[in-house]
Amino acid sequence: MSASPVVSVVIPVADEAENVESVADEVRAALGPATPFEILFVDDGSADATPQLIAALAAADRRVRLVRHARRCGKSQAVRTGVLHARGTWIGTMDGDGQNDPTDLVAMLAAARSAAGVPPLVAGIRTRRRDPWARRVATRVANRLRRVVLGDGCPDTGCGMKLFRREDFLRLPCFEGMHRFLPALFASYGVPLVNHPVAHRARRAGRSKYTNWHRALVGITDMLGVMWLRRRTKAPVLVWTEADRDA
């Protein structure tokens, strides 16, 4: 690489052969003029040609990397695997189905760097959802319940677009479903939240891996677990100065 990446874009994928090439092209076009970056696809046990297509992308561009799970472990573990293998100071996460616009990561990085004090978690907020109405309703209900119970200050934790410091993420406990509770978990470790509006698009191809009922039932159980974790977490809060901030 000509320069060490500042941002590692972590993209968990499972059976997204129809989308990975266009997603990689968009990330390169968005971040290329803005900052040194790498794209880290984490293949979560795909049964289609997803890993082969990513491997071809990686062979043609060293900024693209592939990490594979031998079996499906879920989105949260895929994100953690990507962060563990990332070389950037900042981690940007997005989905591999083409619904996220990677140009938003440039603005999110600027928001993170301009924030005073402790570097924040920047959470993407989908201002205009392009999902079926049933999913939008289910998500709205789940978000409202979570905000009341956890008080995390985030109206859309289900959005796949997040930006945070690698070292802050690696302090968090890992469990399947944690990616839906990052604002609450980061807050337990003294990391502030910045909500940032992002675009949202209809899925280009393929099909979602989740149903509304699956999300709802698992989400309630996970929320109870997060409540217990927050009560038991006594993490030190570090004092930051501008000299500590990544350039």
The domain segmentation of the chain, as residue ranges, is: 7-244
Cα dihedral sign, 160-141-178-193: positive
pLDDT value, residue 134: 58
Phi, psi torsion values for 182, nearest 5 degrees: -60, -40
Phi, psi torsion values for 132, nearest 5 degrees: -55, 150
Contact 124, 189 (CB under 8 A): no
pLDDT value, residue 140: 67
**Rounded Cα–Cα distance for residues 110 and 105 (Å):** 9
CATH for 7-244 (3.90.550.10, 1.10.10.10, 3.40.190.10, 3.30.565.10): 3.90.550.10
**Rounded Cα–Cα distance for residues 128 and 89 (Å):** 30
What pTM, to 2 d.p., does this model score? 0.84
pLDDT value, residue 137: 60
Q: Which two tokens stand for residue 75?
A: 């989105």
**Rounded Cα–Cα distance for residues 211 and 12 (Å):** 18
**Rounded Cα–Cα distance for residues 199 and 213 (Å):** 25
pLDDT value, residue 232: 76
pLDDT value, residue 1: 47
Per-residue pLDDT tens digits of the chain, which is 247 residues long: 457 999 999 999 999 999 999 999 999 999 999 999 999 999 999 999 999 999 999 999 999 999 999 999 999 999 999 999 999 999 999 999 999 999 999 999 999 999 998 999 999 999 877 665 656 666 666 666 766 677 788 988 889 999 999 999 999 998 888 998 999 999 999 999 999 999 988 877 766 655 555 555 556 778 877 877 887 777 766 676 665 655 4
**Rounded Cα–Cα distance for residues 84 and 62 (Å):** 18
Q: Which two tokens stand for residue 197?
A: 């509006």
